[in-house]
């Protein structure tokens, strides 16, 4: 079997675009040349990779099986080029980092600011999505490292996952509104009586909040649902309701007031994840070392103790 990286790149381009002509433009080949690369790949593998119909290109079962393997092989090839370039003294590089939206507005913003100041020649690519999507991107080879929420088993056996921080979930309300409570904590039953702004159902935070209410036999008063992090915080600031959010996002948010949630206390574990079978580049290692420093140096002001070990 004689499979080349060029053939795999052509295969991925066709799989991504669903069109031979568009794929040819993407990989900078003439369309007949790309077609020959695909045919040669299919001959080497002994299977058709695409269902070819007029106006419709779809992966066969063999193509579906090859897709994640080809993605990883090309990612590894790119990693090899980057690592060799660093070893030969090139002071430029790229780090592909991922994080959930709730961390992008808090911890990651600080991290990236420090990193770019220390390493201005490094190109940063940030992927912002939920932990499930980040795990898929890591295992597929399209990320170097990511921060994920790892309270539950996500099937990360191919990844090296290092817990960094336990972060409490807190209830936030508008600082300009009536005090949510005169005590330092709020029970879930008390929270259920307040109008709630909820994230969309794909959020880890939404799943954790729904599970807590369900286990307690409570039905919350939801006034708005389906929002992203920035929108949730803004809706709360405007007084539409209260929300359950990670404690770190409230730091430096003068328009919000936070109170600890108790009975039960909710929290999440933030971990650094990377592929276990690939050594990080020097640029990625520097990013990981700086992340550990940022976590160690964090001072939470009025929220001290809400994010901790």
**Residue 309's pLDDT is what?**
38
Residue 154 neighbours by CB under 8 Å, 6+ apart: 131, 132, 135, 148
CATH 2.40.50.100 fits 5-67, yes or no: no
Span(s) in the chain for CATH 3.40.190.10: 84-165+269-308, 167-268
What is the structure's pLDDT at 248?
Answer: 85
Give the span between the Cα atoms of 164 and 254, in whole angstroms: 26
- Among 144, 251, 264, smallest CA distance to 211 is for 264
**Whole-angstrom distance, CA of residue 141 vs CA of residue 138:** 5
Give residue-wise pLDDT tens across range 147-188. 998 765 455 568 999 999 888 889 999 988 777 756 678 889
**pLDDT value, residue 86:** 59
Which segments of the chain belong to CATH 1.10.10.10? 5-67
Provide CATH code, domain 167-268: 3.40.190.10
For the chain, helix (H) and strand (E) counts, in that order, are 11, 13
* pLDDT, position 301: 38
Say which residue the tokens 């309701």 belong to. 241
What does the pLDDT profile of the chain (309 residues) look like in tens digits? 578 888 999 999 999 998 898 999 888 888 888 999 999 999 999 999 999 877 678 999 999 999 999 998 888 887 777 666 655 443 577 899 999 988 888 889 889 988 888 888 788 999 998 888 999 999 888 899 999 987 654 555 689 999 998 888 899 999 887 777 566 788 899 999 999 999 988 787 888 899 999 999 999 999 999 888 889 999 999 999 999 999 888 877 888 988 888 877 888 899 999 988 888 888 888 889 889 888 877 644 333 444 443
The CATH code for residues 84-165+269-308 is 3.40.190.10
């Amino acid at each position: 079997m004689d499979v080349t990286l060029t053939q795999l790149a052509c295969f991925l381009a066709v799989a991504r675009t669903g069109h031979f002509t568009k794929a040819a433009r993407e990989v900078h080949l003439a369309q007949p040349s790309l077609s020959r690369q695909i045919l040669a790949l299919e001959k080497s593998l002994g299977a058709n990779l695409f269902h070819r119909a007029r106006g419709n290109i779809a992966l066969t079962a063999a193509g579906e099986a090859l897709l994640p393997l080809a993605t990883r092989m090309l990612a590894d090839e790119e990693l090899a080029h980057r690592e060799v370039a660093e070893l030969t003294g090139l002071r430029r590089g790229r780090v592909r980092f991922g994080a959930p939206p709730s961390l992008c507005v808090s911890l990651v913003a600080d991290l990236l600011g420090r990193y770019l100041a220390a390493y201005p020649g490094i190109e940063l690519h940030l992927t912002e999505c939920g932990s499930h999507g980040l795990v898929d991107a890591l295992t597929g080879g399209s990320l170097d490292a990511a921060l994920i929420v790892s309270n539950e088993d996500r099937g990360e056996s191919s990844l090296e996952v290092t817990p960094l921080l336990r972060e409490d979930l807190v209830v936030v309300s508008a600082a300009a509104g009536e005090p949510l409570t005169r005590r330092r904590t709020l029970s879930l039953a008390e929270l259920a009586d307040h109008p709630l702004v909820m994230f969309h159902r794909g959020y880890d935070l939404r799943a954790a909040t729904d599970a807590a209410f369900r286990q307690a036999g409570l039905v919350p008063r939801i006034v708005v649902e389906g929002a992203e992090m920035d929108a949730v915080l803004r809706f709360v600031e405007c007084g539409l309701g209260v929300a359950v959010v990670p404690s770190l996002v409230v730091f430096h948010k003068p328009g919000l007031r936070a109170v600890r949630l108790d009975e039960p206390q909710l929290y999440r574990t933030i971990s650094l994840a990377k592929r276990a079978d690939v050594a990080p580049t020097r640029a990625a290692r520097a990013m990981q070392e700086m992340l550990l420093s940022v976590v160690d140096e964090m001072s939470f002001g009025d929220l001290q103790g809400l994010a901790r070990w």
